[in-house]
Amino acid sequence: MKIKRCLVASALLSGAANFNLHAQDDEEVTDLGIFISEQIAAEESDSLIPTDRTVDSAFFDDMDLVDIPRAITVLSPEAMEQFQINDFDDLQKVGAGTERYNFYGIPGAPVLRGWQGGIYYNGMLRPFQRNEMPTSFGSLEAMEIVKGPAPAQYIPSHVGGYVNMIPKSPFFDESRGSVTLEAGSNDHYNVQVDQGAPFMLGKAPAAYRLSLSVQDADSYWKNVGNDYLSLYAALKVKLSDKTSIFAGAEYYEFESNENAGWNRPTQNLVDNNEYVIGEPLSVVRPGNGGIADRNIVDGLVWGYAPLTNGNYADFRALVVPADIVEAAGLPADQLAALKNMADAEVRAATYAGMPDDVVQTTSGYLYTPEYFLAGGTPFTTTIDADDVLSDLSDFADSEDIMAFFDITHNFDSGSTLTNKLFVEKIDTDKVSSYQYAFRMSQEVVDDRISLTNEIDIGDSMSLLLNYGAQARLTKAKQLQDFWVEPMARRDISLPTISANSVFLSGSDIDPLAGGNNYWGGNFGASGPGGHAAESELTQMGLFLSSKFDIGESFSILASARYDSIDYEVRVPDEPTDIEQNIVTGDDTFLNWSINPSFKINESLSLYGALQEATTYAPLQGGAIVGDQNFGESSLKEVGIKMSAMEGNLFSTLSYYEWDQASFNDITGTSDPYESEGIEFELAYAATESTTIIASFSDRETRRTTSLGYRTMPFGLLDPTGAGNDEIGVALEGGALLNQFANAFGGFTPEGGSPSANPDLIVPGAPQTVVKLFVSNTFNENFGASIGAVWSDSYWTSYDRNIEIDSSTVVNANLWYETEAWKAMLSLENLTEEDYFLGADPNFAANNLLTKAPEDVQMKLTLTVPF
């Protein structure tokens, strides 16, 4: 891939140089008119104060932030640089309601107000993918973060809110560009080349933009990389006084693997980095490629393996190396209570009934409940934050091709007709050796046409309308192998990965069970479903948005949308064990919102928002299974906005409530949730050189029905009754740990309603967060910024058996700039805070934890303009 990246980089630079020369050959001074002046003004609106930019992605284009009756965070290119926003995980550094869940280390989607958010690009909804690749920022100029469901003129998305990615725009002022070089901790290397210029396309003024980003990087965590290539091109043309086009395309290629973090989570692991060691009894078989036979693991867990002694618990418990046990000087009764696997009689009794070719465990001591009843304790060792479940053989590779084409026509009457066409195609392939695989292909074609016109109603009233139609086609196919996923089997404290914790997965062929692959789940699961689904979804919509101004103080924004959907869902034509099953259907939805706004005076305004919406939540790879992927939701929000001191001070205070029926891609059902919260944001240009940005957010999200599969409380209550999670891991580390009610002898005894959390408050991320950021330019060359994020303590699972302490993470930048170059040193976790990343509450929070880098992460960036 590195060779391909270099070739692409050379071609881009050569093409840019040639294009640039052509653009500069024509030295005629051309009156580019109002259109060009507007483009240049947009390019120069690059400050940390959000009101210096207009907002396009809420109700109408080019609205002032203070006039929009919704909570919105705006990130300019300058803010993106100073906050070091490189992917959606970084959004937790800035703004209220922006959070971070670690979806296996690949931030495919943002998390807003306690839930996943949608992604729009240039106002058009991108295909959904939860963690198949980090959504590319290579074509991104700025960002608008809108809280809550999308207004009705946009096709439905998630309830938490959405991000509108604003594409890099061509340069109309002059030919210019830059080369940016980055080098940082963990062998991080990145090259960005950005170039553009105005030119005459015949008699039409035009401009282009080319951008290349290439990254070759490891990460803080062992065996986890982050390599990508992004190639972007854009063109704007003023075809006539009334008609213009804006078109662009990006090719993105990502090569990496997942970061599953720490397995076997316990409170002692969180507090002291103490990890329960050992691996389960061997189920390695030579005929299975010399690795663990997952069919035996399934049988041992569910009780259908051919054990003649019936003691399935032996194969769920962990084995501790003999030298460690014997050096511990255990009392005789405790040592006798462990099973010594070096004893041939013990071994024969343990493996009785197992296939003859299983490579048996011949040393070490097997945990038993009797050992803990005799006062024994689990054996642990200290691990580092970067010791994670990932393996060098794992991969998560993706390819994304995206294109857009906008054409705008202004009529003499003042009306504006806009047509937006958006196309995107994503292909991904992902495998983890601990037994997980995912493959996805997704294609989207989306077209929206709208007309905007203003109607004067008397001297003090006016009505602004935007109405139109939209058609969208989504084809998606995904194959998934996640049924077992026995992550707890692997001992990540070991320097190498044993064959006993590696499994065939995904497209691998099972040599011992009929030559089938694993995409079906090997449980005869009916389909289509989360294991294997191929869908074709057509969405047709009509929408109307209006802004009714009454005098200078009161306005109402209202919108409505009617959608009709048709879909066909089937089992993909793959050699799975799922029988072919085709589901077809159709449905209609009505979304509406009303948003009043009252201006108290020149500085203060009140607003409200009431919205009933349909939220769209496909499977993690974009496929659907039916109507259940469309859930009803509502938003209630009130707030106050202030803009004072000639725009140098802006703040928003808001209170919100939302509820939704959210699709569960594990069970294929809609689950109800509700949330309420308070948010505050402040941006203050104290002087010409000093800017302060602050935010506060506090929210509580609850599930309103009993917990289901994969959200069950973990509660590894061991059979000894001690209630010690470490004992639970020692006795159940070879199990699936999938949170079934009453599974494995009842280690989830409370089922779907844990007594420690009767309100079913959703865990996995801090509920209260405070952020403060100060940027100062000391002189025309030198500047610095420092920011801190304080997060309150939080629970990792519904039954609240593990608590993460509060933390304060400090980041800083130092930069020096001349006309010829700019250098910036970025430092993350400056105080070396001991903290964790949020975890997916529906699964990962019960099985995995990811510790953030414990030491300072550095990056040096050098930018040379040309």
Please check whether residue 22 is in contact with residue 195, taking contact to mean a CB–CB distance below 8 angstroms: no
In this structure, the answer to whether residues 441 and 492 fall within a common structural domain is no
- Please give the Cα distance from 284 to 500 (Å, whole number): 6
pLDDT tens, position by position, 329-368: 999 999 999 999 999 999 999 999 999 999 999 999 999 9
38 domain residue, yes or no: yes
Q: Give the containing element (helix H, strand E) for 271.
A: helix 267-272
pLDDT tens, position by position, 601-625: 989 999 999 999 888 888 888 999 8
pLDDT tens, position by position, 719-742: 676 778 899 889 888 876 544 434
In this structure, the answer to whether residues 33 and 116 fall within a common structural domain is yes
| pLDDT tops 80 at residue 712 | no
Among 540, 399, 562, 563, which Cα is nearest to 473's? 540
Say if residue 528 is preceded by a cis peptide, omega within 30 of 0.
yes
pLDDT at 845: 57
Tokens of 158: 């998630």
Counting the structural domains of the chain, the total is 2
In this structure, the answer to whether residues 275 and 295 fall within a common structural domain is yes
522 falls in which pLDDT band (50, 70, 90)?
very low
Higher pLDDT, 29 or 110: 110
Domain extent, residue 370, equals 267-382+485-501
DSSP secondary structure letter of residue 97: S
pLDDT at 620: 85
Higher pLDDT, 460 or 656: 656
- Please give the Cα distance from 96 to 405 (Å, whole number): 33
| pLDDT tops 70 at residue 709 | no
Q: Which of 422, 445, 478 is the endpoint of a domain?
A: 478
Higher pLDDT, 567 or 5: 567
In this structure, the answer to whether residues 67 and 157 fall within a common structural domain is yes
127 domain residue, yes or no: yes
- Provide the 3-class DSSP secondary structure of residue 296: helix
Q: How far is CA 598 from the centre of its chain?
A: 36
In this structure, the answer to whether residues 41 and 73 fall within a common structural domain is yes
Q: How far is CA 547 from the centre of its chain?
A: 33
821 domain residue, yes or no: no
Residues in the chain, total: 866
- The CATH number given to whatever domain includes residue 231 is 2.170.130.10
What dihedral angle (degrees, nearest 10) is formed by the CA atoms of 757, 762, 763, 766?
Answer: -120
575 falls in which pLDDT band (50, 70, 90)?
low
In this structure, the answer to whether residues 363 and 409 fall within a common structural domain is no
Tokens of 133: 């690749």
In this structure, the answer to whether residues 450 and 495 fall within a common structural domain is no
Please check whether residue 196 is in contact with residue 210, taking contact to mean a CB–CB distance below 8 angstroms: yes
- Please give the Cα distance from 218 to 226 (Å, whole number): 6
165 domain residue, yes or no: yes
In this structure, the answer to whether residues 67 and 188 fall within a common structural domain is yes
Please check whether residue 91 is in contact with residue 117, taking contact to mean a CB–CB distance below 8 angstroms: no
541 domain residue, yes or no: no
573 domain residue, yes or no: no
Higher pLDDT, 711 or 708: 708
Q: Which of 463, 478, 493 is the endpoint of a domain?
A: 478
4 falls in which pLDDT band (50, 70, 90)?
very low
CA end-to-end distance (rounded Å), the chain: 28
Tokens of 288: 């299975």
Rg (CA), the chain: 29
687 domain residue, yes or no: no
- Share above pLDDT 70 across residues of the chain, in percent, rounded to a whole number: 88
DSSP secondary structure letter of residue 289: T
In this structure, the answer to whether residues 242 and 282 fall within a common structural domain is no
Q: Is 579 exposed, middle or buried (0-12, 13-18, 19+ CB in 10 A)?
A: exposed
- b (16+ CB within 10 A) / e for 704-737: eeebbbbbbbbbbbbbbeeebbbbbbbbbbbbbb
- Please give the Cα distance from 810 to 796 (Å, whole number): 23
Q: Which of 425, 444, 478 is the endpoint of a domain?
A: 478
In this structure, the answer to whether residues 48 and 146 fall within a common structural domain is yes
607 domain residue, yes or no: no
pLDDT at 91: 94
Handedness of CA 6, 9, 15, 16 (dihedral sign): negative
In this structure, the answer to whether residues 98 and 247 fall within a common structural domain is yes
pLDDT at 525: 42
In this structure, the answer to whether residues 340 and 434 fall within a common structural domain is no
707 falls in which pLDDT band (50, 70, 90)?
confident
pLDDT at 499: 96
CA angle 535, 124, 211 (to 5 degrees): 110
| pLDDT tops 70 at residue 523 | no
- Which range among 181-185, 300-304, 472-476, 701-705 shows the weakest confidence by mean pLDDT? 300-304
Q: Could you tell me if residue 267 is left (phi over 0), alpha (psi between -120 and 50 degrees) or otherwise beta? A: alpha
Q: Is 425 exposed, middle or buried (0-12, 13-18, 19+ CB in 10 A)?
A: middle
